[in-house]
Structure 1
Amino acid sequence: MNNGEKQDLKILIAAPEGFTRAGLKHYLQAWPGGAQVWEAVDSEEAITLTASLRPEVLICDVDLTPDGGVEVVTHLRDTLHDEAPIVLLLGRHLTNDQLMAALATRAGGIVDKSAPPEVLFTAMSEARQGHVFVSSPFITQLFKNFILLPAASGDAAAKIAAALTKREFAVLCLIAQGLSNVEIAGRLNLAEATVKSYSSHVFEKLGVRGRVQAALMAVSAGIASASLGHPVLASP
């Protein structure tokens, strides 16, 4: 390709509603410098097209079917690793669990569907520069979530540690960091299937439904400290 030849930004839109896809496609084709835009109607097509077309940006509806947008991002991270696209998740009226799960995927941004169209361009520009964009309503929700977290308690941390084996506790700490099963397996030198087994034991013993609730419990107990989408291990 000649240096002077135009290189369109490759974008994949994954949303269940045709009206949403058509509106986004029409708007995104005005991207400065040009854009090549594809559409996916469900999570399976989003994963398949991402693997084959390798878009730089994936704009994915949180409510994608049959698997949600968060699950799509997690799958792409686990399979494509550093070659996974920048992902902007679209949502409206997200529950606290949905918001925390979206942040934990390390997506490039979470955009409120009710925001003005130009916000999407801002989000894309920020994400391409390595920043995380979060729409204002979700930032407010995040602050409220963190305020509502109970104060760190040594007793709570001790109870969690006592309920888990040493290896299960290590897995919980890495879940709280936002790491995927593949990343945890690499960190602990375990098979991915083994990590999944440990994770299931952790959820069962702590009485939580999944990774987000387990991470929040670790944060509230003082085992990990909260940060935007990347809870980090607290000092021993």
Structure 2
Amino acid sequence: MTTPPPPIRVLVADDQMMVRQGFTMLLGGEPDIEVVGQAVDGHDAIAQVSELAPDVVLMDIRMPGLGGIEATARITAPADSTVKVLVLTTFDLDEYVYEALRAGASGFLLKDASADELAHSVRVVAAGEALLSPNLTKRLIGEYSRVTRTVSRDPGKARVGALTERETEVLSLIAQGLSNTEIAELLVVAEQTVKTHVGRILAKSGLRDRTQAAVFAFETGLVRPSGRMT
């Protein structure tokens, strides 16, 4: 008899008690998800990550003291960090998307998401996938296009040059928000083959996860705002 995998350990960080309790209740009914703690601000979140070792942190953007973006940066900064941060906010604003992903967040979800969407998002992020809602992905592309016009791309271009043609193609598709399954269907290859390509892309480029890979693709100019490769 196969032993089921351990539940995904989640820490909820939000300064509003009702929000923390609401998320805890919604996720508590999922058999494969366990809420292991609640944090009231960024400092508390950092301390509880160290103590509880969650797999995923649901991180509010605006909190007193230390906000969610800075807390995310500190949590994901260690090279050996495996914690995924899913940023939650009521503000559908470009700068929050950009800053959160730059800080190391693996996903970005609006607080009005349904219970099913929330649970799905936790599973996706825990599995190492990047998560952005479609409307936020479009805005993110535009923001990177604007910001990276003034950024030197030479160091990044050298790392892109280390990738094979297929790896470069997979990287561009990651940046467009496609999952491994969708990439496999598009390229007509096995999903495991895509996973292998993703692993090699991360290793060659010195990147932590798919979200950093997407950031990298935009910042080096590999992908244009239209979603096309350069």
TM-score class, shorter: 0.5 to 0.7
**1:23–1:83 CA distance, 2 compared to 1 (3 A):** same
**1:66 has 2:52 as partner:** no
> Could you say what secondary structure the match of 1:10 adopts?
strand
Match status 1:109 vs 2:107: yes
Q: Give, in angstroms, the shift of residue 144 of structure 1.
A: 4.2
Q: 3-state SS of the aligned residue for 2:80? A: helix
- Aligned AA (2:26): Y
The amino acid of 2:143's aligned partner reads: N
Shift of 1:234: 5.9
1:3-14 correspondence to structure 2 within 5 Å: 4=3, 7-14=6-13
Gaps of 5+ in 2: 160-212, 223-230
Contact between 1:112 and 1:137, CA under 8 Å: does it hold in 2?
A: no
Larger radius of gyration: 1
Once the two structures are superposed, what CA deviation does each residue of 1:179-213 show, in whole Å capped at 9, x if it has no partner? xxxxxxxxxxxxxxxxxxxxxxxxxxxxxxxxxxx
Return the offset for 1:26: 0.3
In the TM superposition, 1:124-143 aligns within 5 A as 124-143=122-141
**Pairing 1:21–2:20 present:** yes
What aligned pairs does 1:160-171 form with structure 2 within 5 A after superposition? none
- Inter-CA distance 32–102: structure 2 relative to 1 (3 Å threshold): same
8 Å contact from structure 2 (residues 12, 35) kept in 1: no
**What runs of 5+ residues in structure 1 fail to find an aligned partner?**
162-168, 178-226
| Kept in 2: contact 1:28–1:37 (CA 8 A) | no
Give distance in 1, aligned partners of 2:130 and 2:119.
Answer: 13
Q: CA deviation at 1:111?
A: 0.5
Percent identity, please: 20
> CA 1:139–1:113 in structure 2 vs 1: closer, same or farther (change >3 Å)?
same
Amino acid at match of 1:99: V
Number of aligned positions between the proteins: 166
**What is the TM-score when the length of structure 2 is the normalising length?**
0.61
CA RMSD of aligned residues (A): 3.3
SS in 1 for 2:85: strand
Give yes or no for the alignment of 1:93 onto 2:91: yes
- CA distance 1:7–1:130, shift in 2 (3 Å): closer
